[in-house]
């Protein structure tokens, strides 16, 4: 409502930027490994401000996941949806995934959501649901791209969109895992050709 109307001492930090910085810390250190010291230093705010703004560490974590899922993790998805040619689009998806998992601005490697799943799924309340939704949303968005091509006629009518969407997603997980383990972009690039072929191939030659 009244976003400009504010009384009292003004905040010294940008909420969204602070949240993005928190993503970086959780990404590299995991949930338990991300101490308040690391978080407040990276976010550029003091702990009382953090608590006033996000409730507690747990609340900050859930917001960080939601914030990341909102757009950052979607760079490969955007590439997939933007490139007109479907094979090139899938290739762009892989390339983008490699790019951001080996050279993210925050310095973190791999995929934030994948790291969250490993560090918090099962024992950080509320995280599971958020992460499952993010996975399902990704599957759906990829499948939608394939469905679009089927409507255009560039993919056969019996093309298994959902199954191939899952395959594309799963292949990406392998890439981001390798990236997180320290394999470089040039190493990961060796996986692309076969991946593209597997995802978009049609059985009738």
Partner DNA sequence: GTGATTTTGCATTGAGCGTTATAAAACACC
Partner DNA sequence: GGTGTTTTATAACGCTCAATGCAAAATCAC
Q: In the complex, which residues of this chain contact a second copy (CB under 8 A)? A: 28-33, 109-110, 114-115, 117-119, 121-123, 128, 131-132, 135, 160, 162-164, 166-167, 169-175, 177-178, 180-183, 190-191, 193-195, 198-199, 201, 203, 205
Q: In the complex, which residues of this chain contact DNA (CB under 7 A)? A: 5-13, 32, 34-38, 45-49, 51-52, 56-58
Q: Which does 57 bind (CB under 5 to 8 A by kind): DNA, a second copy, none?
A: DNA
CA–CA gap between residue 53 and residue 80 (Å, rounded): 35
Indicate the residue among 13 and 135 with the shorter CB distance to DNA: 13
Indicate the residue among 57 and 172 with the shorter CB distance to DNA: 57
Q: Which does 195 bind (CB under 5 to 8 A by kind): a second copy, DNA, none?
A: a second copy
Q: Which does 106 bind (CB under 5 to 8 A by kind): DNA, a second copy, none?
A: none
Token pair belonging to 2: 């009244």
DSSP secondary structure letters along 48-97: HHHHHHHSSHHHHHHHHHHHHHHTGGGHHHHHHHH-SSHHHHHHHHHHHH
CB of 107 closer than 8 Å to CB of 193: no
Token pair belonging to 40: 């407040």
Q: Which does 145 bind (CB under 5 to 8 A by kind): DNA, a second copy, none?
A: none
Indicate the residue among 48 and 84 with the shorter CB distance to DNA: 48
Query: Smallest gap, in angstroms, from Cβ of residue 26 to a second copy?
Result: 11
CA–CA gap between residue 23 and residue 13 (Å, rounded): 16
Q: Which does 144 bind (CB under 5 to 8 A by kind): DNA, a second copy, none?
A: none
Contacts of 138 by beta carbon, 8 Å cutoff, 6+ apart: 73, 77, 169
Query: Smallest gap, in angstroms, from Cβ of residue 146 to a second copy?
Result: 12
CA–CA gap between residue 61 and residue 172 (Å, rounded): 24
> How many CB atoms lie under 10 A from the CB of residue 77?
19
Indicate the residue among 31 and 54 with the shorter CB distance to a second copy: 31
Q: Which does 181 bind (CB under 5 to 8 A by kind): a second copy, DNA, none?
A: a second copy
CA torsion 185-169-80-85 (nearest 10°) is: 100
């Amino acid at each position: 409502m009244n976003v400009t109307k504010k009384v009292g001492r003004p905040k010294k930090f940008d909420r969204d930027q602070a949240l993005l910085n928190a993503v970086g810390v959780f990404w590299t250190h995991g949930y338990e490994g991300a101490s308040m010291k690391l978080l407040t230093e990276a976010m550029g705010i003091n702990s009382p401000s953090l608590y006033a703004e996000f409730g507690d560490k747990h609340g900050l974590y859930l917001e960080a996941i939601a914030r990341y899922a909102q757009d950052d993790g979607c760079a490969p998805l955007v590439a997939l949806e933007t490139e007109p040619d479907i094979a090139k689009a899938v290739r762009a998806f892989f390339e983008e995934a490699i790019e951001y998992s080996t050279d993210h601005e925050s310095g973190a490697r791999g995929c934030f959501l994948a790291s969250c799943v490993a560090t918090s799924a099962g024992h950080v309340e509320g995280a599971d649901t958020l992460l499952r939704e993010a996975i399902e949303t990704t599957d759906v968005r990829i499948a939608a791209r394939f469905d679009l091509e089927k409507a255009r006629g560039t993919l056969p009518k019996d093309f298994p969109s959902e199954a191939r969407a899952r395959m594309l997603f799963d292949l990406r997980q392998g890439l981001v895992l390798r990236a997180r383990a320290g394999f470089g972009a040039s190493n990961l690039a060796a996986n692309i050709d076969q991946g593209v072929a597997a995802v978009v191939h049609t059985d009738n030659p």
